[in-house]
Chain A
Protein backbone atom coordinates (compact mmCIF):
# COMPACT_ATOMS: atom_id res chain seq x y z
CA UNK A 1 0.00 0.00 0.00
CA UNK A 2 1.41 3.41 -0.93
CA UNK A 3 1.84 5.92 1.91
CA UNK A 4 0.85 9.58 2.27
CA UNK A 5 3.14 12.37 3.53
CA UNK A 6 6.86 13.06 3.84
CA UNK A 7 8.94 9.85 3.88
CA UNK A 8 10.90 9.33 7.13
CA UNK A 9 14.35 9.63 5.57
CA UNK A 10 13.57 12.88 3.71
CA UNK A 11 14.02 16.47 4.93
CA UNK A 12 10.54 18.02 4.83
CA UNK A 13 11.70 21.60 4.17
CA UNK A 14 13.97 20.54 1.30
CA UNK A 15 11.24 18.40 -0.22
CA UNK A 16 8.75 21.27 -0.01
CA UNK A 17 11.19 23.61 -1.75
CA UNK A 18 11.84 21.05 -4.51
CA UNK A 19 8.16 20.37 -5.04
CA UNK A 20 7.34 24.08 -5.22
CA UNK A 21 10.03 24.46 -7.89
CA UNK A 22 8.68 21.49 -9.88
CA UNK A 23 5.17 22.91 -9.61
CA UNK A 24 6.44 26.25 -10.93
CA UNK A 25 8.06 24.47 -13.88
CA UNK A 26 4.86 22.52 -14.52
CA UNK A 27 2.80 25.74 -14.59
CA UNK A 28 5.27 27.26 -17.03
CA UNK A 29 5.07 24.14 -19.24
CA UNK A 30 1.28 24.34 -19.25
CA UNK A 31 1.31 28.00 -20.27
CA UNK A 32 3.99 27.64 -22.97
CA UNK A 33 2.30 27.79 -26.41
CA UNK A 34 5.26 26.04 -28.07
CA UNK A 35 5.01 23.08 -25.69
CA UNK A 36 1.26 22.87 -26.36
CA UNK A 37 1.93 22.95 -30.11
CA UNK A 38 4.29 19.96 -29.82
CA UNK A 39 1.88 18.12 -27.52
CA UNK A 40 -1.02 18.64 -29.93
CA UNK A 41 1.12 17.50 -32.84
CA UNK A 42 2.07 14.26 -31.07
CA UNK A 43 -1.54 13.66 -29.95
CA UNK A 44 -2.65 13.92 -33.57
CA UNK A 45 -0.21 11.12 -34.45
CA UNK A 46 -0.95 8.80 -31.50
CA UNK A 47 -4.71 9.29 -31.73
CA UNK A 48 -4.90 9.18 -35.52
CA UNK A 49 -7.26 6.68 -37.11
CA UNK A 50 -6.56 6.20 -40.81
CA UNK A 51 -9.20 5.04 -43.32
CA UNK A 52 -7.59 1.60 -43.09
CA UNK A 53 -7.83 1.64 -39.28
CA UNK A 54 -11.50 2.61 -39.43
CA UNK A 55 -12.28 -0.27 -41.78
CA UNK A 56 -10.61 -2.87 -39.53
CA UNK A 57 -13.27 -5.50 -38.91
CA UNK A 58 -13.49 -7.52 -35.72
CA UNK A 59 -14.34 -10.98 -36.93
CA UNK A 60 -13.58 -13.13 -33.89
Chain B
Protein backbone atom coordinates (compact mmCIF):
# COMPACT_ATOMS: atom_id res chain seq x y z
CA UNK B 1 0.00 0.00 0.00
CA UNK B 2 3.02 2.23 0.25
CA UNK B 3 3.80 4.90 2.79
CA UNK B 4 1.45 7.72 1.82
CA UNK B 5 -0.26 9.33 4.84
CA UNK B 6 -3.60 7.85 3.69
CA UNK B 7 -2.09 4.36 3.40
CA UNK B 8 -0.69 4.68 6.91
CA UNK B 9 -4.07 5.87 8.18
CA UNK B 10 -5.85 2.93 6.53
CA UNK B 11 -3.35 0.43 7.96
CA UNK B 12 -3.87 1.88 11.46
CA UNK B 13 -7.66 1.77 10.95
CA UNK B 14 -7.46 -1.88 9.81
CA UNK B 15 -5.29 -2.93 12.74
CA UNK B 16 -6.76 -0.85 15.56
CA UNK B 17 -10.46 -0.57 14.65
CA UNK B 18 -11.28 -3.50 12.38
CA UNK B 19 -8.68 -5.87 13.95
CA UNK B 20 -7.61 -7.21 10.55
CA UNK B 21 -5.46 -10.36 10.71
CA UNK B 22 -5.00 -11.48 7.10
CA UNK B 23 -4.97 -9.99 3.64
CA UNK B 24 -5.12 -11.46 0.15
CA UNK B 25 -3.58 -9.53 -2.73
CA UNK B 26 -5.01 -9.65 -6.24
CA UNK B 27 -2.07 -8.51 -8.31
CA UNK B 28 -3.93 -7.76 -11.54
CA UNK B 29 -7.31 -6.23 -10.91
CA UNK B 30 -9.29 -4.21 -13.44
CA UNK B 31 -10.87 -1.32 -11.54
CA UNK B 32 -13.64 0.32 -13.57
CA UNK B 33 -13.14 3.81 -12.11
CA UNK B 34 -9.42 3.74 -12.73
CA UNK B 35 -9.86 2.29 -16.22
CA UNK B 36 -12.15 5.18 -17.21
CA UNK B 37 -9.70 7.70 -15.72
CA UNK B 38 -6.88 5.88 -17.53
CA UNK B 39 -8.60 6.01 -20.91
CA UNK B 40 -9.54 9.66 -20.42
CA UNK B 41 -6.12 10.87 -19.30
CA UNK B 42 -3.20 8.48 -18.81
CA UNK B 43 -3.65 6.55 -22.07
CA UNK B 44 -2.53 9.67 -23.94
CA UNK B 45 0.49 10.38 -21.73
CA UNK B 46 3.95 9.49 -23.03
CA UNK B 47 4.93 7.98 -19.70
CA UNK B 48 4.18 4.25 -19.42
CA UNK B 49 1.47 3.83 -16.84
CA UNK B 50 -0.11 0.47 -16.08
CA UNK B 51 -3.77 -0.25 -16.81
CA UNK B 52 -4.12 -2.80 -14.05
CA UNK B 53 -4.47 -2.06 -10.36
CA UNK B 54 -3.78 -4.16 -7.30
CA UNK B 55 -6.60 -5.04 -4.92
CA UNK B 56 -6.05 -6.05 -1.31
CA UNK B 57 -8.81 -7.88 0.59
CA UNK B 58 -8.78 -7.88 4.39
CA UNK B 59 -10.11 -10.48 6.83
CA UNK B 60 -10.46 -10.64 10.59
CA UNK B 61 -9.57 -14.39 10.57
CA UNK B 62 -6.01 -15.70 10.55
CA UNK B 63 -5.01 -18.09 7.77
CA UNK B 64 -1.93 -18.77 5.67
CA UNK B 65 -1.60 -18.51 1.90
CA UNK B 66 -0.98 -22.25 1.75
CA UNK B 67 -4.18 -23.02 3.71
CA UNK B 68 -6.19 -20.66 1.55
CA UNK B 69 -4.93 -22.10 -1.74
CA UNK B 70 -5.38 -25.65 -0.52
CA UNK B 71 -8.92 -24.83 0.58
CA UNK B 72 -9.81 -23.40 -2.83
CA UNK B 73 -8.35 -26.44 -4.53
CA UNK B 74 -10.26 -28.83 -2.27
CA UNK B 75 -13.42 -26.81 -2.68
CA UNK B 76 -13.29 -27.35 -6.44
CA UNK B 77 -13.08 -31.08 -5.88
CA UNK B 78 -15.84 -31.16 -3.28
CA UNK B 79 -18.33 -28.74 -4.75
CA UNK B 80 -21.28 -30.89 -3.64
CA UNK B 81 -20.11 -31.07 -0.05
CA UNK B 82 -22.30 -28.42 1.61
CA UNK B 83 -20.68 -28.82 5.03
CA UNK B 84 -17.28 -28.16 3.53
CA UNK B 85 -18.66 -25.12 1.72
CA UNK B 86 -20.08 -23.88 4.99
CA UNK B 87 -16.76 -24.21 6.81
CA UNK B 88 -14.54 -22.70 4.15
CA UNK B 89 -16.57 -20.09 2.37
CA UNK B 90 -18.71 -18.89 5.26
CA UNK B 91 -15.69 -18.35 7.50
CA UNK B 92 -14.13 -16.19 4.79
CA UNK B 93 -17.36 -14.33 4.16
CA UNK B 94 -18.01 -13.70 7.84
CA UNK B 95 -14.56 -12.36 8.48
CA UNK B 96 -14.46 -10.11 5.39
CA UNK B 97 -13.61 -6.49 6.22
CA UNK B 98 -13.46 -5.04 2.70
CA UNK B 99 -10.80 -4.08 0.20
CA UNK B 100 -8.41 -1.37 -0.94
CA UNK B 101 -7.49 -0.78 -4.60
CA UNK B 102 -3.94 0.43 -5.22
CA UNK B 103 -3.50 2.40 -8.44
CA UNK B 104 -0.29 2.16 -10.45
CA UNK B 105 -0.13 5.98 -10.43
CA UNK B 106 2.39 7.47 -8.06
CA UNK B 107 1.65 10.03 -5.42
CA UNK B 108 3.87 13.12 -5.39
CA UNK B 109 6.12 11.50 -2.79
CA UNK B 110 6.65 8.45 -5.03
CA UNK B 111 4.00 6.41 -3.25
CA UNK B 112 1.14 4.63 -5.03
CA UNK B 113 -2.32 6.20 -4.95
CA UNK B 114 -5.17 4.63 -3.00
CA UNK B 115 -8.14 3.93 -5.27
CA UNK B 116 -11.63 2.62 -4.47
CA UNK B 117 -11.56 1.59 -0.83
CA UNK B 118 -14.50 -0.15 0.75
CA UNK B 119 -13.86 -0.96 4.38
CA UNK B 120 -16.36 -1.73 7.11
CA UNK B 121 -17.28 1.31 9.20
CA UNK B 122 -16.58 1.33 12.94
CA UNK B 123 -19.09 -0.86 14.83
CA UNK B 124 -22.44 0.58 15.95
CA UNK B 125 -21.84 -0.17 19.63
CA UNK B 126 -19.02 1.45 21.56
CA UNK B 127 -17.08 -0.60 24.13
CA UNK B 128 -17.76 0.29 27.79
CA UNK B 129 -20.26 2.98 26.81
CA UNK B 130 -23.93 3.55 25.98
CA UNK B 131 -22.83 5.60 22.97
CA UNK B 132 -23.74 4.43 19.49
CA UNK B 133 -22.27 5.10 16.05
CA UNK B 134 -24.35 5.64 12.93
CA UNK B 135 -22.53 5.42 9.60
CA UNK B 136 -23.84 5.70 6.06
CA UNK B 137 -23.36 2.45 4.19
CA UNK B 138 -24.17 1.01 0.80
CA UNK B 139 -24.26 -2.62 -0.21
CA UNK B 140 -21.08 -3.63 -2.05
CA UNK B 141 -19.61 -6.93 -3.06
CA UNK B 142 -16.34 -8.27 -4.36
CA UNK B 143 -15.64 -11.46 -6.23
CA UNK B 144 -12.42 -13.09 -5.11
CA UNK B 145 -11.49 -16.14 -7.24
CA UNK B 146 -15.20 -16.97 -7.54
CA UNK B 147 -16.04 -16.35 -3.90
CA UNK B 148 -18.72 -13.71 -3.42
CA UNK B 149 -17.76 -11.38 -0.54
CA UNK B 150 -20.09 -8.71 0.78
CA UNK B 151 -19.32 -5.54 2.67
CA UNK B 152 -21.60 -2.65 3.60
CA UNK B 153 -19.67 0.63 3.56
CA UNK B 154 -19.40 4.02 1.92
CA UNK B 155 -16.64 3.93 -0.74
CA UNK B 156 -13.56 6.10 -0.25
CA UNK B 157 -10.64 7.05 -2.48
CA UNK B 158 -7.77 9.48 -2.60
CA UNK B 159 -7.63 12.22 -5.23
CA UNK B 160 -5.55 11.64 -8.31
CA UNK B 161 -4.57 15.24 -9.01
CA UNK B 162 -4.39 14.60 -12.77
CA UNK B 163 -8.14 14.07 -13.00
CA UNK B 164 -9.57 15.14 -9.65
CA UNK B 165 -8.99 17.22 -6.54
CA UNK B 166 -10.75 16.93 -3.17
CA UNK B 167 -14.08 18.31 -4.43
CA UNK B 168 -14.35 15.77 -7.28
CA UNK B 169 -13.47 12.91 -4.97
CA UNK B 170 -16.03 14.13 -2.40
CA UNK B 171 -18.66 14.13 -5.14
CA UNK B 172 -17.55 10.63 -6.17
CA UNK B 173 -17.86 9.38 -2.56
CA UNK B 174 -21.25 11.06 -2.08
CA UNK B 175 -22.53 9.87 -5.46
CA UNK B 176 -21.61 6.28 -4.68
CA UNK B 177 -24.45 6.32 -2.12
CA UNK B 178 -26.74 8.78 -3.88
CA UNK B 179 -26.98 6.54 -6.94
CA UNK B 180 -28.23 3.72 -4.71
CA UNK B 181 -30.78 6.04 -3.06
CA UNK B 182 -32.03 8.10 -5.99
CA UNK B 183 -31.09 5.98 -9.01
CA UNK B 184 -28.56 8.43 -10.47
CA UNK B 185 -25.75 7.19 -12.71
CA UNK B 186 -22.33 6.15 -11.37
CA UNK B 187 -19.35 8.21 -12.55
CA UNK B 188 -15.59 7.86 -12.30
CA UNK B 189 -13.59 10.87 -10.98
CA UNK B 190 -12.64 12.06 -14.49
CA UNK B 191 -16.29 11.95 -15.58
CA UNK B 192 -17.33 13.97 -12.52
CA UNK B 193 -14.67 16.62 -13.19
CA UNK B 194 -15.71 16.78 -16.89
CA UNK B 195 -19.41 17.15 -16.05
CA UNK B 196 -18.80 19.75 -13.35
CA UNK B 197 -16.59 21.87 -15.63
CA UNK B 198 -18.59 21.62 -18.86
CA UNK B 199 -19.39 25.34 -18.83
CA UNK B 200 -16.71 27.93 -19.56
CA UNK B 201 -14.71 28.51 -16.41
CA UNK B 202 -11.47 30.22 -15.59
CA UNK B 203 -8.55 27.79 -15.42
CA UNK B 204 -7.94 24.41 -17.00
CA UNK B 205 -10.19 21.40 -16.53
CA UNK B 206 -7.29 18.89 -16.64
CA UNK B 207 -4.97 18.48 -14.82
CA UNK B 208 -7.62 19.35 -12.26
CA UNK B 209 -6.91 22.38 -10.11
CA UNK B 210 -9.99 21.86 -7.96
CA UNK B 211 -13.71 22.47 -8.45
CA UNK B 212 -15.58 25.51 -7.20
CA UNK B 213 -18.80 25.41 -5.18
CA UNK B 214 -20.65 26.40 -8.36
CA UNK B 215 -19.16 23.49 -10.29
CA UNK B 216 -20.09 21.09 -7.49
CA UNK B 217 -23.72 22.21 -7.46
CA UNK B 218 -23.69 22.11 -11.29
CA UNK B 219 -22.80 18.46 -11.00
CA UNK B 220 -25.74 17.76 -8.69
CA UNK B 221 -28.11 19.62 -11.01
CA UNK B 222 -26.60 17.87 -14.04
CA UNK B 223 -27.42 14.41 -12.67
CA UNK B 224 -31.03 15.38 -11.98
CA UNK B 225 -30.70 16.24 -8.31
CA UNK B 226 -31.05 19.46 -6.38
CA UNK B 227 -29.22 20.64 -3.28
CA UNK B 228 -29.81 22.30 0.07
CA UNK B 229 -27.19 24.48 1.71
CA UNK B 230 -26.45 25.43 5.29
CA UNK B 231 -24.16 28.40 4.79
CA UNK B 232 -22.49 28.67 8.19
CA UNK B 233 -19.80 30.98 6.89
CA UNK B 234 -22.38 33.49 5.64
CA UNK B 235 -24.26 33.43 8.94
CA UNK B 236 -21.03 33.85 10.91
CA UNK B 237 -20.22 36.95 8.81
CA UNK B 238 -23.60 38.48 9.69
CA UNK B 239 -22.72 38.11 13.39
CA UNK B 240 -19.77 40.45 12.81
CA UNK B 241 -21.67 42.90 10.59
CA UNK B 242 -22.79 46.09 12.32
CA UNK B 243 -25.55 46.64 9.76
CA UNK B 244 -27.61 43.84 11.32
CA UNK B 245 -29.77 44.27 14.43
CA UNK B 246 -28.97 42.60 17.73
CA UNK B 247 -32.25 40.65 17.47
CA UNK B 248 -31.25 39.20 14.14
CA UNK B 249 -27.80 38.33 15.46
CA UNK B 250 -29.26 36.60 18.53
CA UNK B 251 -31.48 34.52 16.26
CA UNK B 252 -28.49 33.45 14.15
CA UNK B 253 -26.34 32.77 17.22
CA UNK B 254 -29.05 30.47 18.59
CA UNK B 255 -29.39 28.73 15.20
CA UNK B 256 -25.65 28.09 14.90
CA UNK B 257 -25.47 26.42 18.33
CA UNK B 258 -26.96 23.09 17.21
CA UNK B 259 -27.48 23.27 13.45
CA UNK B 260 -24.48 21.10 12.48
CA UNK B 261 -25.22 18.05 14.67
CA UNK B 262 -28.95 18.44 13.98
CA UNK B 263 -28.42 18.57 10.20
CA UNK B 264 -26.02 15.63 10.25
CA UNK B 265 -28.46 13.50 12.28
CA UNK B 266 -31.48 14.52 10.21
CA UNK B 267 -29.90 13.94 6.81
CA UNK B 268 -27.66 10.94 7.60
CA UNK B 269 -30.69 9.00 8.80
CA UNK B 270 -31.91 9.04 5.19
CA UNK B 271 -28.49 7.74 4.13
CA UNK B 272 -27.59 10.97 2.32
CA UNK B 273 -23.90 11.87 2.60
CA UNK B 274 -23.32 15.60 3.26
CA UNK B 275 -20.48 17.34 1.46
CA UNK B 276 -18.79 19.65 3.95
CA UNK B 277 -16.77 22.67 2.84
CA UNK B 278 -14.07 23.40 5.39
CA UNK B 279 -11.33 26.00 5.76
CA UNK B 280 -7.85 24.97 6.78
CA UNK B 281 -6.18 27.93 8.44
CA UNK B 282 -2.55 28.24 9.41
CA UNK B 283 -1.76 31.13 11.71
CA UNK B 284 1.43 32.76 12.79
CA UNK B 285 1.03 34.89 15.92
CA UNK B 286 -2.74 35.23 15.30
CA UNK B 287 -2.20 36.37 11.71
CA UNK B 288 -3.44 34.16 8.88
CA UNK B 289 -0.51 32.77 6.94
CA UNK B 290 -2.37 30.27 4.83
CA UNK B 291 -6.09 29.66 4.14
CA UNK B 292 -7.18 26.75 1.96
CA UNK B 293 -10.62 25.39 1.12
CA UNK B 294 -11.14 21.67 1.37
CA UNK B 295 -14.12 19.38 0.68
CA UNK B 296 -14.89 16.23 2.67
CA UNK B 297 -17.89 13.94 3.10
CA UNK B 298 -19.67 13.53 6.43
CA UNK B 299 -20.42 9.82 6.55
CA UNK B 300 -21.54 9.27 10.15
CA UNK B 301 -21.65 10.38 13.75
CA UNK B 302 -21.35 9.11 17.29
CA UNK B 303 -24.08 9.96 19.81
CA UNK B 304 -24.43 9.52 23.54
CA UNK B 305 -27.41 7.93 25.29
CA UNK B 306 -29.27 11.25 25.22
CA UNK B 307 -28.92 11.41 21.45
CA UNK B 308 -26.33 14.22 21.53
CA UNK B 309 -23.71 14.05 18.78
CA UNK B 310 -20.23 13.72 20.29
CA UNK B 311 -18.16 12.98 17.16
CA UNK B 312 -18.50 13.18 13.40
CA UNK B 313 -17.00 10.65 10.98
CA UNK B 314 -15.77 12.00 7.67
CA UNK B 315 -14.26 10.55 4.51
CA UNK B 316 -11.37 12.97 3.96
CA UNK B 317 -9.31 12.03 0.91
CA UNK B 318 -6.22 13.69 2.41
CA UNK B 319 -6.48 11.76 5.67
CA UNK B 320 -8.48 8.54 5.23
CA UNK B 321 -11.88 6.90 5.65
CA UNK B 322 -14.04 7.38 8.79
CA UNK B 323 -11.79 10.09 10.26
CA UNK B 324 -12.96 11.12 13.70
CA UNK B 325 -13.82 14.78 14.13
CA UNK B 326 -14.08 16.29 17.59
CA UNK B 327 -15.86 19.53 18.32
CA UNK B 328 -13.44 22.42 18.88
CA UNK B 329 -15.90 25.30 18.81
CA UNK B 330 -16.62 27.34 21.93
CA UNK B 331 -19.84 28.78 20.43
CA UNK B 332 -21.81 26.39 18.22
CA UNK B 333 -21.26 22.64 18.05
CA UNK B 334 -18.83 21.44 15.32
CA UNK B 335 -18.38 24.89 13.78
CA UNK B 336 -14.68 24.29 14.39
CA UNK B 337 -13.12 20.86 14.05
CA UNK B 338 -10.34 19.08 15.81
CA UNK B 339 -8.87 16.25 13.73
CA UNK B 340 -5.67 15.23 11.92
CA UNK B 341 -5.47 18.61 10.14
CA UNK B 342 -4.70 20.12 13.52
CA UNK B 343 -3.04 17.25 15.37
CA UNK B 344 -0.94 15.85 12.48
CA UNK B 345 -0.67 18.52 9.78
CA UNK B 346 -0.13 21.44 12.14
CA UNK B 347 -2.97 23.70 11.00
CA UNK B 348 -4.09 26.20 13.64
CA UNK B 349 -7.79 25.97 12.92
CA UNK B 350 -10.32 23.97 10.89
CA UNK B 351 -13.62 25.77 10.41
CA UNK B 352 -16.78 24.37 8.87
CA UNK B 353 -18.00 26.80 6.18
CA UNK B 354 -20.90 25.11 4.44
CA UNK B 355 -22.93 21.95 4.29
CA UNK B 356 -23.96 20.96 0.77
CA UNK B 357 -26.77 18.43 0.84
CA UNK B 358 -27.59 16.59 -2.40
CA UNK B 359 -31.34 16.17 -2.49
CA UNK B 360 -33.83 14.40 -4.72
CA UNK B 361 -35.95 17.15 -6.33
CA UNK B 362 -39.16 15.60 -5.00
CA UNK B 363 -38.04 16.49 -1.47
CA UNK B 364 -39.54 19.96 -1.55
CA UNK B 365 -39.58 20.85 2.13
CA UNK B 366 -35.96 21.81 2.71
CA UNK B 367 -33.97 21.06 5.85
CA UNK B 368 -33.94 24.75 6.78
CA UNK B 369 -37.73 25.08 6.62
CA UNK B 370 -38.54 22.03 8.72
CA UNK B 371 -35.66 22.78 11.10
CA UNK B 372 -37.10 26.22 11.85
CA UNK B 373 -40.38 24.65 12.95
CA UNK B 374 -38.53 22.06 15.00
CA UNK B 375 -36.56 24.81 16.76
CA UNK B 376 -39.77 26.68 17.54
CA UNK B 377 -41.19 23.52 19.14
CA UNK B 378 -38.03 23.22 21.23
CA UNK B 379 -38.17 26.78 22.47
CA UNK B 380 -41.92 26.60 23.28
CA UNK B 381 -41.68 23.22 25.08
CA UNK B 382 -38.51 22.97 27.19
CA UNK B 383 -39.86 19.89 29.02
CA UNK B 384 -39.75 17.81 25.85
CA UNK B 385 -36.96 16.91 23.40
CA UNK B 386 -37.51 17.10 19.67
CA UNK B 387 -35.42 15.24 17.08
CA UNK B 388 -35.74 15.67 13.35
CA UNK B 389 -34.97 13.25 10.55
CA UNK B 390 -35.67 12.56 6.91
CA UNK B 391 -36.70 9.09 5.86
CA UNK B 392 -38.46 7.15 3.13
CA UNK B 393 -41.81 5.41 3.44
CA UNK B 394 -40.13 1.98 3.09
CA UNK B 395 -37.58 2.61 5.83
CA UNK B 396 -40.09 4.27 8.11
CA UNK B 397 -42.65 1.47 7.87
CA UNK B 398 -39.86 -1.10 8.35
CA UNK B 399 -38.98 0.67 11.60
CA UNK B 400 -42.62 1.04 12.68
CA UNK B 401 -43.21 -2.67 12.22
CA UNK B 402 -40.75 -3.38 15.02
CA UNK B 403 -42.24 -0.89 17.51
CA UNK B 404 -45.36 -0.93 19.70
CA UNK B 405 -47.78 1.99 19.13
CA UNK B 406 -51.46 2.83 19.00
CA UNK B 407 -53.54 1.63 15.98
CA UNK B 408 -50.50 -0.19 14.59
CA UNK B 409 -52.26 -2.17 11.84
CA UNK B 410 -54.32 0.71 10.49
CA UNK B 411 -51.32 3.10 10.56
CA UNK B 412 -49.17 0.59 8.68
CA UNK B 413 -51.94 0.11 6.09
CA UNK B 414 -52.14 3.85 5.36
CA UNK B 415 -50.42 5.08 2.23
CA UNK B 416 -47.67 7.59 2.87
CA UNK B 417 -45.50 9.86 0.69
CA UNK B 418 -42.16 8.53 -0.60
CA UNK B 419 -40.17 11.02 1.49
CA UNK B 420 -41.13 11.92 5.05
CA UNK B 421 -39.76 14.40 7.57
CA UNK B 422 -40.25 12.98 11.07
CA UNK B 423 -40.28 15.04 14.25
CA UNK B 424 -39.71 12.63 17.16
CA UNK B 425 -40.91 13.81 20.55
CA UNK B 426 -39.06 12.52 23.61
CA UNK B 427 -40.00 12.78 27.27
CA UNK B 428 -36.62 12.37 28.95
CA UNK B 429 -35.05 9.49 27.02
CA UNK B 430 -38.36 7.91 25.95
CA UNK B 431 -39.85 8.31 22.51
CA UNK B 432 -43.51 9.24 23.03
CA UNK B 433 -44.80 10.64 19.72
CA UNK B 434 -43.78 11.10 16.11
CA UNK B 435 -45.27 13.67 13.78
CA UNK B 436 -44.98 12.96 10.08
CA UNK B 437 -44.64 15.77 7.56
CA UNK B 438 -45.00 15.20 3.83
CA UNK B 439 -41.55 16.12 2.45
CA UNK B 440 -42.90 16.09 -1.11
CA UNK B 441 -45.42 18.86 -0.39
CA UNK B 442 -44.84 22.55 -1.08
CA UNK B 443 -46.27 23.48 2.34
CA UNK B 444 -45.98 22.12 5.89
CA UNK B 445 -48.48 19.27 5.63
CA UNK B 446 -48.61 17.09 8.76
CA UNK B 447 -50.23 13.93 7.51
CA UNK B 448 -49.96 11.55 10.43
CA UNK B 449 -49.12 11.10 14.09
CA UNK B 450 -47.67 8.00 15.74
CA UNK B 451 -48.57 7.64 19.41
CA UNK B 452 -46.13 5.54 21.45
CA UNK B 453 -47.80 6.31 24.80
Give A contacts to B, CB under 8 Å: 1-7, 10, 12, 15-16, 18-19, 22-23, 25-27, 29-31, 35-36, 38-40, 42-43, 45-50, 53-60
Contacts and interface: CB of A to CB of B under 8 A. Distances in A.
B435 A1 contact: no
Nearest to A51: B214
A3 B277 CA distance: 35
A23 B373 contact: no
B425 A22 contact: yes
**In terms of DSSP, what is the predominant structure of the interface of chain A?**
helix
Interface of B: 130, 132, 165-167, 170, 209-214, 216-217, 228-231, 233-235, 238, 251-252, 255, 259, 277, 280, 292-295, 305, 307, 318, 353-354, 366, 368-369, 372-373, 376-377, 380-381, 383-384, 403-405, 423, 425-433, 435, 437, 443-446, 449, 452-453
A29 B377 CA distance: 9
Given A26-B377, A59-B165, A43 B130 contact: no
Contacts, number: 163
B425 A49 contact: no
B369 A19 contact: no
Contacts of B425: 19, 22
A53 B372 CA distance: 23
Given A6-B432, A46-B230, A60 B277 contact: no
B213 A56 contact: yes
Contacts of A56: 212-213, 277, 293, 353
Nearest to A25: B380
A5 B430 contact: yes
Contact of B165 (A4, A26, A30, A60): A60
Contact of A23 (B228, B238, B433): B433
B214 A55 contact: yes
A44 to B, nearest CB: 9
Nearest to B214: A54
Nearest to A22: B381
| Leading 10 A-B pairs by shortest Cβ distance | A30-B444, A43-B368, A60-B294, A58-B167, A54-B214, A39-B372, A59-B210, A58-B295, A3-B430, A47-B229
A48 B425 CA distance: 30
A25 B453 CA distance: 19
